[in-house]
């Protein structure tokens, strides 16, 4: 009921719920000028998930293992990838941190309006997604964009691997060719 825009793996569609969208915008108190920015960032998150699913078949990946550690690591990567791209687009387009954080939280189902006296950075709610975003940021900086295929083809097997991206990347180089089509 809180997710206004979401990608549905079963049907491979992006669904926009106009009622949840209007309710969320009202609850967050987003002004007209920021509405477009928040909506763009929400769409970025879901488009990234749709593309990741298109290329890496996320539904199969999630069903591949019944291990909760593997599923949590995969969720951190998929959620973190959308969050990473939200942050990149926000910086590129000059979108405020407040809009970025509200959109990022909302994409995870949290409708939390930052108050004027709080630091918005402290209000990010989804720790698993934050962990995935930090992991992906490290990988983008040290490996470039080609690493994405390695991560989704050989996802971290546990959350511990997410805490040490350098070790994960060294291992993934051993089991994966450097260039993937």
Chain position carrying tokens 């769409």: 43
Q: What is the pLDDT of residue 121?
A: 46
pLDDT tens, position by position, 151-169: 887 778 888 888 888 888 8
Q: What is the pLDDT at residue 122?
A: 40
Average pLDDT score over residue span 112-124: 55
155: Cα separation from own chain's centroid: 15
pLDDT tens digits, residue range 36-64? 999 999 999 999 999 999 998 888 888 87
- In degrees, rounded to 5, the angle at the alpha carbon of residue 78 between the alpha carbons of residues 108 and 13 is 75
pTM: 0.83
pLDDT at 115: 59
pLDDT in tens, 68-77: 888 888 889 9
φ/ψ of residue 135, rounded to 5: -60, -50
Per-residue pLDDT at 18 exceeds 50: yes
């Amino acid at each position: 009921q809180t997710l206004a825009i979401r990608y549905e793996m079963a049907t491979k569609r992006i669904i926009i719920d106009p009622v949840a969208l209007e309710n969320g915008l009202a609850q967050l108190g987003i002004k007209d000028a920021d509405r477009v920015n928040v909506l763009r960032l929400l769409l970025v998150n879901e488009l990234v998930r749709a593309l990741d699913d298109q290329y890496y078949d996320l539904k199969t990946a999630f069903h591949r293992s019944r291990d909760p550690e593997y599923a949590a690591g995969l969720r951190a990567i998929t959620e973190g990838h959308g969050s990473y791209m939200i942050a990149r687009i926000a910086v590129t387009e000059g979108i405020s941190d407040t809009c970025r954080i509200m959109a990022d939280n909302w994409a995870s189902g949290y409708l939390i309006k930052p108050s004027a006296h709080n630091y918005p950075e402290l209000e990010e709610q989804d720790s698993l997604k934050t962990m995935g975003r930090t992991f992906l940021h490290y990988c983008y900086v040290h490996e470039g964009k080609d690493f994405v295929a390695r991560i989704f083809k050989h996802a971290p097997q546990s959350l511990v691997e997410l805490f040490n991206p350098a070790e994960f990347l060294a291992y993934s180089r051993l089991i994966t060719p450097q260039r993937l089509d």
